[in-house]
Amino acid sequence: MTQTPPASVSIPRSLFVFAPLYGGLVVLAGVLGTKIADLGHWPVLGDMAVESGIFAFLLLVVLASTVTELHGEQVARRLVRYGFIPLILSMILLKLVIEVVPPAPIWAHQAEFALILGQGARMQFAGLISYGTSQILNVYVFARLAGAGVGNGVGSGLIVRAWLASMLSQVVDTAIFITISFWGVAGADGTALPIGQMMASQVIAKLALSTVMVPVLIWLAVRLGRRLDAAG
């Protein structure tokens, strides 16, 4: 008895390109987040500093919104959910390499390696919750604005949707991550860390970057995606 071969599944070229890029950036965002970047002095806003993971996170927002625009909300939601796989796997591997795998005798940088890449369980949990919540929210808002008639995939409407969804997701991401990570944690002087102040500075910096970077990048990514799919 012969079996009928399964029907081949055609993956759009843009999704084939954007999905692995998304997975890599999910992992990279956590690694980059260990460095606090100085963004210099901005008019009105003053001196700004932000954790460097924001640059990878903003690209995650770009990719999730682009996939929503090109392939629909449900596909983008699956992309976000699958993003938990490389994120959790990277956390496990880092934990194993830092705490279980012994360093070679000729390598003298174990302490620095653990300091930079090691994160406590509380911060890891905060990262998982903030990632999932903010990315799903970004996809939801971006799609709902399109359904409400804000933009039609081209021109200024797309930029407005990208900007609004990114701004909201950034605020939620920061609020969740800082609250879970630092609520009740004491500073060097023994008093509780100023969570409100920490949150405000991060939100301002992220909103500024979202305004400058995200809308244009999403517009470019959508155009690129459509060219990839047309060529496929």
Tell me, what DSSP letter sits at residue 224? Answer: H
For 195-230, write each residue's pLDDT tens digit: 777 777 778 888 888 888 888 899 999 999 999 998
- Other CB atoms within a 10 A radius of the CB of residue 34 amount to 14
- Closest to 209 measured CA to CA, from 21, 18, 53, 10: 53
For 118-167, write each residue's pLDDT tens digit: 777 777 888 899 899 999 999 999 998 887 654 454 556 788 888 899 99
pLDDT value of residue 126: 84
d(CA 97, CA 110): 10
pLDDT value of residue 69: 92
Give the C-alpha distances (Å, rounded to integers) separating 219 from 46, 67, 153, 165, 216: 29, 12, 9, 14, 5
By three-state DSSP, how is residue 220 classified? helix
d(CA 26, CA 22): 6
Amino acid at 186: A
Task: Confirm if 36 and 49 have CB atoms less than 8 A apart.
Answer: yes
Give the C-alpha distances (Å, rounded to integers) separating 135 from 54, 161, 168, 170, 204: 13, 15, 10, 9, 19
Question: Which residues sit opposite 123 in a β-bridge?
Answer: none
d(CA 91, CA 29): 12
Q: Which regions of the chain does DSSP assign to beta strands (E)?
A: 36-42, 46-51
Task: Confirm if 52 and 28 have CB atoms less than 8 A apart.
Answer: no
By three-state DSSP, how is residue 42 classified? strand
Average pLDDT, the chain: 84
Give helix 13-32 / helix 53-71 axis angle, nearest 10°.
160
Six-digit token string for 4:
């009928």
Residue 20 has pLDDT above 80, yes or no: yes
